[in-house]
Structure 1
Amino acid sequence: MRLVGRPTESGDLTLAVRTSGTPGAAPPVLLVHGMGGDHSTWRYFAGQLRAAGRAVLAVDLRGHGRSGRPGDYRLESFSDDLRYVLDDLDVAQVDVVGHSLGAHASLRLAMSAPDRVRSLVLEEVPPMPRDQADVDEGIVMDSSLGERVRGLALLLANPMPLLRFDRAVGGQVGAAFEQAEPQWWQRLAQVSARTLVISGGQRSFLPSQHLRTLAETIPGARFEVIEAGHSVHRDRRREFCGAAGGFLTQA
């Protein structure tokens, strides 16, 4: 595990990154977990990537895993951290795979630094509300009963991610998604990366039609549904590897 020190207004922030695999002709794959998780959620997929000859960078977002708890959990801060990690590791360009909050941070990275992201896989990415109707629909970082039951089994097997999770993240992130941000949708036109949006289908709390609209707004993006709920890479890992891994090999 590599620990990256990022200077901030409130002092240095530690960002933890698990690096593995051997650098090759293709860019490394940056893996970004969702809220309440850490880099270990990608263990199976990272193994598949390494077997295919890819170098892998799996981060712990701020407030998660072995990264620091700065108390600042603005959405922009998560994406700025990703860019800082790439700078610190001297990585010019990556393919990025993100889940949920991590997918949202990854998408913001692709918006603000399009030259740094070659390909982008967005699993169950929550879009910003476009207007008050979206706000009233109440799409936030939550989960269904089925998702919580499946998550409980995972927690019993590996409790460390939740134990290391700063609960303040949820409040700040949830509040951010209660504000309409139509300009965020306009900025999607700045995404130049090849993009695949994966929906967990009817079992997810994120309505599939919103993710389809997001994919239709990103230039040239593809859209795929895998009926799994919110954590596709965890609950349908072979199907996820086929879709995400296959997409990355086409770059």
Structure 2
Amino acid sequence: MELAVRTSGPPTAVPVLLVHGMGGDHTTWRAVARALRTAGRRVAAVDLRGHGRSGRAASYRLDDFRDDLRFVVDDLGSGRVDVIAHSLGAQAAVRWAMAEPDRVGRMVLEELPPMPRDDADLAEDIEPTASAVDRVRGLLALAADPRPFLRFDRRIPAEVGAEFKQAEPSWWDGLAGLAAPTLVISGGDRSFLPPHHLQTVAETLPDGGFTTISAGHSVHRDRPREFLDAVLAHLDVDLPG
């Protein structure tokens, strides 16, 4: 299986790894990548397995996506990277950061679906999906560019969703040991992910911050200016001028 990665910006700068959510691809980060390049950062935007121009795979477990990110970072040849990740991509990024914490600088986790801790969490049935409003916005995005949808392996939602049907308290233990400065971004009450769950994620992280941008599940798409302002501030990046 081949992984497609788009790299740009100064080759000697510390990379920022951009990881899209379920059903998307690297093109969702165009505005963010452009701003980071303007600020002098190197950018690596990956298409996850089964998405975009990356190959399809026999397995789509969350740890498979984690291992793909490890491969991408190895290939970049950088000792440490910053990470901006959305939804399924944020889940993959957190798992990779838990496995290799010394390789993570700063992280931005947009609408990260937390793993269930217990039966109460399981009863809420939280998993990477979309609200009715998000689906309408997704259809508008599809009309503008159908390629991510056409290339998406439709086996992924069922395989990923099955992992959110069982409690994984060890995920929360790993989160509590993740020292990277991390900003958790919630899309507010318009998202299917309850904001208080994302705030709990931020509070569990040793160096976690939390902000809400009322946009629904895809904050970077629907409120790009506010999202970019939060990201650049967290990464301590200044745009020229």
**TM-score normalised over the length of structure 2:** 0.96
The partner residue of 2:10 within 12, 19, 22 is 22
Letter in 1 for 2:4: A
The partner residue of 1:232 within 190, 194, 219 is 219
- Tell me what 1:116 maps to: 103
Q: Could you tell me which runs of 5 or more consecutive residues in structure 1 were left unpaired when the two chains were aligned.
A: 1-12
Q: Does 1:186 align with 2:173?
A: yes
How many corresponding residue pairs?
238
Matches within 5 A, 1:1-251: 13-25=1-13, 27-249=14-236
CA distance in 2, matches of 1:21, 1:120: 19
> Is this contact kept in 2: 1:127–1:214, CA < 8 A?
yes
CA distance in 2, matches of 1:92, 1:105: 19
- Tell me what 1:3 maps to: none
Deviations 1:156-187 (A, max 9, x none): 00100010000111000000011100111011
What RMSD over aligned residues (CA atoms) do the two structures have, in Å?
Answer: 1.2
SS in structure 2 of the partner of residue 14 of structure 1 = coil
> Is this contact kept in 1: 2:24–2:52, CA < 8 A?
yes
SS in structure 2 of the partner of residue 58 of structure 1 = strand
Deviations 1:43-94 (A, max 9, x none): 0111111111111000000010111111210101101110111112212110
Q: Could you tell me which runs of 5 or more consecutive residues in structure 2 were left unpaired when the two chains were aligned.
A: none
CA distance in 2, matches of 1:64, 1:180: 27
> Is this contact kept in 2: 1:16–1:60, CA < 8 A?
yes
**TM-score normalised over the length of structure 1:** 0.93
CA distance in 1, matches of 2:27, 2:42: 16
Shift of 1:250: 6.3
SS in structure 2 of the partner of residue 151 of structure 1 = helix
Shift of 1:24: 4.4
CA distance in 2, matches of 1:250, 1:128: 31
SS in structure 1 of the partner of residue 53 of structure 2 = coil
Shift of 1:23: 3.0
4+ residue stretches of structure 1 with deviation over 6 A? none
Shift of 1:133: 1.0
CA distance in 2, matches of 1:183, 1:103: 17
CA distance in 1, matches of 2:118, 2:138: 31
CA distance in 1, matches of 2:58, 2:194: 30
CA distance in 2, matches of 1:71, 1:162: 19
